[in-house]
Amino acid sequence: MPEFLQPITTVGIDYSTVTATSQQLTGMAPGYQYYIRSSTACYYKVGPAGVVAAASDGSIWLGANAVAPVAAKGPGDVVAVVREAADGVVTLFRTEYGDAVVSQ
């Protein structure tokens, strides 16, 4: 099959409930492009284990059902996520074919 006809599939890496307490999504490796999707509006922040997302600390806002690209800059980096108002579910994933390699 020609390369441009290969199917693109998503690989789920981690998921969590989005609540009023910052949660962490793990499983990223440096150099690959990942994405997060949340069923509810939330704030997220990428950083080393222990990083906390909050509405007032420079975290990035993500609307409900939107998808945002994220990338680990170092080994062990995580995505911290906290809800804006309502609880929901957030998923961290990447594509299996055609992964973009993020320049460091």
Q: What is the pLDDT of residues 38-83, one digit of tens each?
A: 999 999 999 999 999 999 888 999 999 999 999 888 899 999 999 9
Residue 29 has pLDDT above 60, yes or no: yes
Choice between 14 and 66, residue whose per-residue pLDDT is larger? 66
Kindly report the average pLDDT of the chain as a whole number.
84
Distances (CA, A) of 48 to 22, 64, 80: 14, 25, 10
User: Is the separation of the CB atoms in 10 and 96 below 8 Å?
Assistant: yes
Give Cα 65 distance to the centre of its chain: 13
Mean pLDDT of 86-98: 82
* pTM assigned to the model: 0.81
Q: How far apart are CA 56 and CA 79, in angstroms?
A: 16
Cβ contacts of 29 within 8 Å, gap of 6 or more: 72, 75
